[in-house]
Each structure stands twice: as C-alpha cells, then as structure tokens.
Structure 1
Amino acid sequence: MKTVLFDYGNVVSLPQAPEDVARLASYVTGAEPGFEDRYWEVRLDFDRGSLDPAAYWSHVYGRPMDGAGLDEVVALDVASWSRPNEETVAIVDELAKVGVPMALLSNMPVCVAEGIDTLPFMRPIGPRFYSGRMGLVKPEAEIFHETVAWLGVAPGDLVFVDDRLENVAAAERAGLAAVHFRDAAALREDLKTLLG
C-alpha cells in the first residue's frame, strides 16, 4: 500500500492570514515596513536549524530578541500557521478511515514544529519529518532520501503532496510519485488515480 507524504504549510494548513502577519509585524514598533521580506529572507536557514529562534527573530526585527518577548513572537508565529485547511483535513480523515498510511515532510523550524505537533487535526498524520530536526530542507535531494530510508519503503511507494513546484520536481527526481497541490478537490482526484 502506498503512503501519502504531506507537506504542511498551504496544504494541510491554510496560508498565514493577513491579520496574523500584521500582528507579527507590529510586535516591534517600526518593524512593519519590509517585515514580510525580512520574514522570508532567511526563513530557509531557520527551517534548516542553521539559525536559532533568537538569531532569526533578531534579524527579522532588526533588534535583539530574547526572553519573554522571543517566546511571545514564537507563539504568534506558531498561531499563524495553525489554521487547518478543512478540505484537506477531510481528505486526511478519509484516508485514515480506510487505513492509508500517512506521513508529513515539512520545512519548519523546531520551535514551530513543537506547536504544530499538538494540533488535533494532525493526529492521523505520522510519522512527521521536520527540516529543523533533520538539518535539511526541501527541495534538497537528501531530505527525500533520508525520509524514504527512515520510512523503510521504496520511493515509488510514496505519494508526495506539496504546493511548491520545485519541491514536487525534487521529489520526482528522488523517485517519489508527487502531486502539485492546487486545492483539495484536485488533490482528491489525483489521489484516486495514484492510490488506485
């Protein structure tokens, strides 16, 4: 039986809501101009674990972040990624009911992963592979090879679902079947074809 390997952000979860981004941007007065550029500028380094939360958020805000303030910003960041895509979650629940194995492979820093792991809608999906714990990020080939090795399955027995085309292409190069996530309706049809 094939295993469905989900990405998290913009697949299982909804994108960050504008009000959540605004809340993060306004946490430090004066940080609003260019906040989103700085948020994404070194995010992959944060996802990989090359930057710890203090270094990442100090870069984003342009001032040292530590202590309670850092904890609050991390909590806001986790909250911004905690809104489920209910239509995808419905598919996850359907797959769980018929016994389809599922796993997660996400670019995500450890501090965010710790919050995401506690969300009720994540229960059917496991094991979970987070870039911050692996020291690797998508679309690097190694992250797919390590995930396949840990799961102990043939690459072709994994169906990888991601919203980013570069990650889909990398998964295919690693031998996985891959689906470009556009919306839940299209995913349901794609999975019907790939899972048989």
Structure 2
Amino acid sequence: MALHLSHLPSPRVPRNLRSMRHHSPDTTRSRSHTASPPFASVSASSSSSSSSPSVILWDVLDTLVYDPFYQHMPAFFDMTFDELMACKHPTAWLDFERGVLDENQFAESFFKDGQTVDMQALKAHMNEQYRWIEGMDQLVGDVSASGNVQQHLLSNYPTWYEMIESKLALEKTHGLQWTFVSTRTGFRKPEAGAYEYALDALGCDASQVIFVDDRKANVEAAEQLGMRGVHFEDATSARAAIKSHGVDV
C-alpha cells in the first residue's frame, strides 16, 4: 500500500543515489528518428555572439520541481531506496524516459521478476508530491517578465511530464516549453545528443544558451559544447548566476 509522506522534509539526495536514476547508457534512438519540435527558432540577429544570452534551458526535476523518485517511489512499494534498486529492472526507467517503452510496457517490465504494478496508483502517488522548488516559480516568472529570453525545458523524464504540467502549469503560466524532454527527443543528459538536438532546433550559437541543472555532470557536458552552465543549488544562487550572464532578473 502506498505511504503518503508529504509531511516529511525533502533533503537533497546524495550524489551516489542520484546517479542511479540519471545514469545513461548509450542512446538507442538516432537523431534522424526524432522530429524537430514546433516552436520559433532564435532569430539570426540574436544567435550571433553577444554579451547577453537569448535562451535558458532548464532542467526540471530537483531544479524547478521536487523529484519524488528517491523517497516517495520506494515508499509506495513499502521499500527502502536500496531495496527498490535491487529488485527493479535495471533499464526499464531509462527506456521509459527515452520513450523506448510506453507506459504499459514500463509497468510490465518495472520489476525484474515481472510482478505487476498498479501504474495508476503509482502515478497518483508521484503526482501528489510534485511541487515547485522554493523560489523557482518566482525566478522563472521574472525571467519571463523580462521578455528578452526564451525558456525551454531540457529534462530526462517520461510522459509523466504531462502530470507536472497539469499540476504546476510550467508552460501555461510561465511559458516554459517542454521542448526537449527526453521522452520526446530520445536523448538523455549528459549525452551530447541531448544538447546538440536542442541547439539544432533552437538555431542559435551555444554561447547564447544558459543551461541550468542540479547535476554537475550535466552542466559540464553542456559547457563542453559551449553553453553557459549554471550548477543549481537554490533559487537565490541561480538568480545571481543568471543575472551575471546578462539576464535582467
């Protein structure tokens, strides 16, 4: 039976645990098999090198929105995190995030031993936990109000991103477009393809893009391609870092 732990504090997860969800094997989908997302690319004038960026790419989970994977998913199964990691299928979640598995296939392959999962109950439990990281709704709102920078989401997540949007309205309220979520592109950070796909679609130079993520490895991968990296820790430091890159917030 699911345990509802919304009253508990939400400490940041140690890196050795966080890597278990975010570790990414070689991609199984080529860029030629993914369609370009429908949005206006950055204009030629703004894509040239200048002092101010034209795009912010935001990570979502544990950057904008609390990630319930580490505490609340194990609690749903009445397990510890380590117990869940030991019995779940080693690649099912990653394949679900890439869009290789649909939700029904994910449910069937979640556990190594093939035991069934009440997917609707699990989704409801996860959805209950989604919430803004403190101060981040204000920050992205201020960026949007500045009117000078496009904001897109570059996230490793399955189709459940639609639950986040339905609950928190990242796109509807703040214009944060779910353009580069992995289930749509087939690429997961820190694969170079995740960032290259975004740059191709945006039509701008990497130096015109700020990339914000709570995982240092993802930030470093973006920086290797020429993006301006911001390692997220909290809203206050993120605001200062973005402002230092020339965004008026």
TM-score of Structure 1 vs Structure 2, range by shorter chain: 0.7 to 0.9
Give 1:161 shift.
0.2
Larger Rg: 2
What corresponds to 2:95 in structure 1?
45
What corresponds to 2:235 in structure 1?
184
**Counterpart code for 1:164:** R
| Matching residue within 147, 155, 165 for 2:206 | 155
Q: Runs of 5+ in structure 1 lacking a partner?
A: none
Query: Cα gap change, 1:121/1:103 in structure 2, threshold over 3 Å: closer, same or farther?
Result: same
Residue 102 (1) aligns with residue 177 (2): no
Equivalenced residue count is 189
What corresponds to 2:63 in structure 1?
11
**1:190 & 1:33 partners in 2: Cα distance?**
35
Query: Cα gap change, 1:127/1:32 in structure 2, threshold over 3 Å: closer, same or farther?
Result: closer
DSSP-derived class of the 2:61 partner: coil
Give 1:192 shift.
1.0
Query: TM-score, normalised to structure 2's length?
Result: 0.66
Give 1:65 shift.
3.4
DSSP-derived class of the 1:118 partner: helix
DSSP-derived class of the 1:119 partner: helix
For the aligned residues, what is the CA RMSD? 2.7
Provide the identity percentage.
26
CA contact (8 A) 1:25 1:32 kept: no
Q: Runs of 5+ in structure 2 lacking a partner?
A: 1-52
CA contact (8 A) 1:84 1:121 kept: no
What corresponds to 1:169 in structure 2?
220
Map 1:1-196 → 2, pairs under 5 A: 1-16=53-68, 20-26=72-78, 34-36=83-85, 41-42=90-91, 43-61=93-111, 62-65=113-116, 69-80=118-129, 82-99=130-147, 100-110=149-159, 112-123=160-171, 124=174, 125-196=176-247
1:98-122 Cα offsets, whole Å, 9 max, x none, are 1132111000012x12212323440
**2:86 & 2:232 partners in 1: Cα distance?**
24
